[in-house]
Structure 1
Amino acid sequence: MLCKISFSSDSQIHLPTSYNYIIQSILYKFINEESYANFMHNQGYIFNNRSYKLFSFSNILERPLLIDRKKKRFVFPKDISLYFSSVDNDFFRYVFNSIINADKYVNIGQNTAVISKIEFIRQDVSQKEIVAAMSPITIYSTLLTPENNKKTYYYNPYEKEFSSYIRKNLIHKYIALYGDDPTNDNFLIVPKRDIHESIIKYKGFIIKGHTGTFEIEGAQELMDIAFCAGLGGKNSQGMGLIVKEEILKQK
């Protein structure tokens, strides 16, 4: 499922250019059930000793009014919005209950805002879709240099490994969620247009990914995971949320 949250402030909203941690923290704070919050923070869904939180969120949908490159900050309008998605309806239930019972104001970094609207959006997913990456899709490998140092290599959408590794990542997410292999594990992602590299910092670490329009095709099991949990890695850090292009055209 997909959810859109809108925030309103009395003044322009100032955020660092890498604001993913701020948005992630807001979503975690919305989970008002202790055991579930602990599960999402500290455990997640496990496969091969890897934890998958199986939710994602988008970039802020509105364009910044100003980019202060010296201070590395965005100045957004007073009203902003974003998408988030999850495989787990409990996630939405806890977030929604928290929102309707919360104090009036929400802190977005050093900004004070109110939640002006929350909208749940149904995406009827077929086995072939044109999608927009609303936050960068990242997929990578950890390699050893000749000096025996570890190096992270991020794949771009035009390398064959990009689609192959995203497919493997979806399979691992499926197994982590359901405890078994999907009955069909076909999946392919192809870049279509407006592909742009994005570089963000998350807790001091660099993450590279790509936004743009993609065509994805695959087994229904993996297509559903892709839309709910996000494509590629680092989803719970605000990477890889996708939305059907036709839904964006309706807005």
Structure 2
Amino acid sequence: MMRMLCKITFSSNDKIFLPMSYNYIIQGVLYKFINEDSFADFMHNKGYTYNKRSYKLFSFSNVLEKPLLVDREKKHFVFPKDISIYFSSIDNEFFKYVFNSIINTEDFIYVSQNRTSISKVELIKQKISEKEVIKTMSPITTYSTFVTFENSKKTYYYNPYEKEFSTNIQKNLINKYQALYDEPPQNSEFSIVPRGTPHEKIIKYKDFIIKGYTGIFEIEGSKELMDMAFCAGLGSKNSQGFGLIIKNDLDK
């Protein structure tokens, strides 16, 4: 099974400044690449639905380059003049719109306050089997929301050593599959286990605090769910920049 991963490089004439919580900025840039109004409205406001939940079925990575400076007082990162991200989607229409817009644009693109241009676009092939060692390029998050005795909502984020981490991710992949294809997968087998020690990441998305985990994992499952995992992302909040994975040996 072969799947495509898109690597996009933005270039500026000066260093690139981004807030420490920049996920919503990258998300906004990707949405702007959709140049067809009805599809843009569908992706922004609806997405694919199953059991009253909406799935956008795409994900993107953190900025791949390390920051030159972390300014904690001003709460921003200083990146080099060229920054790259990975982008993936199981929705061929969305992938096509974004890719075609990128390769055909001659305009400058603002990434936050930084005036950039697209200097490079790479399509990377990943041959996916039913068992892979993967590396997270953005944190994996999975959680449950409870109502407390005080009648307030509380979110509990699972860590990779809890069984709910794997079972929740499996259920999420099944739901995404049903949202896209309007039927359950023929084979719903899927599991994920950490290799080494995962790293906890606390991310602020707009006004929300989200906890996720990065690291090396081993995943195993049916072709349908492995395909969904690599293309749409693992766990929740993929379209907000969570759960993009690559094969561990991809960038070696």
Normalised to the residue count of structure 1, the TM-score between the two structures is 0.97
Aligned counterpart, 1:230? 233
In structure 1, distance between residues paired with 2:145 and 2:151: 12
- The alpha carbon displacement at 1:10 in A equals 0.7
* Helix, strand or coil at the partner of 1:96: helix
- The alpha carbon displacement at 1:203 in A equals 1.7
Alignment partner of 2:224 out of 196, 221, 226: 221
In structure 2, distance between residues paired with 1:130 and 1:105: 38
**Structure 1, unaligned stretches of length 5 or more?**
none
Structure 1 runs of 4+ with >3 Å offset? none
In structure 2, distance between residues paired with 1:85 and 1:135: 12
In structure 1, distance between residues paired with 2:35 and 2:201: 32
In structure 2, distance between residues paired with 1:195 and 1:106: 35
Aligned counterpart, 1:197? 200
Corresponding letter in the other structure for 1:169: N
Aligned counterpart, 1:145? 148
Question: Residues 57-76 of structure 1 correspond to what in structure 2 (within 5 A)?
Answer: 57-76=60-79
Aligned length, in residue pairs? 249
- The alpha carbon displacement at 1:193 in A equals 2.3
**Structure 2, unaligned stretches of length 5 or more?**
none
For the aligned residue pairs, the C-alpha RMSD in angstroms reads 1.0
Write out per-residue CA displacement over residues 26-47 of structure 1, whole angstroms, 9 at most, x where no aligned residue. 0000011111111111111110
In structure 2, distance between residues paired with 1:205 and 1:230: 20
Q: Does 1:13 align with 2:16?
A: yes
Question: Residues 91-102 of structure 1 correspond to what in structure 2 (within 5 A)?
Answer: 91-102=94-105
Q: Does 1:135 align with 2:142?
A: no
* Helix, strand or coil at the partner of 1:137: coil
In structure 2, distance between residues paired with 1:63 and 1:198: 16
* Helix, strand or coil at the partner of 1:100: helix
Normalised to the residue count of structure 2, the TM-score between the two structures is 0.96
In structure 2, distance between residues paired with 1:163 and 1:84: 23
Corresponding letter in the other structure for 1:157: P
In structure 1, distance between residues paired with 2:111 and 2:196: 32
* Helix, strand or coil at the partner of 1:247: coil
Aligned counterpart, 2:113? 110
Alignment partner of 1:4 out of 7, 11, 24: 7
Aligned counterpart, 1:43? 46
Moved more, 220-229 or 92-101: 92-101
- The alpha carbon displacement at 1:194 in A equals 4.5
Aligned counterpart, 1:156? 159
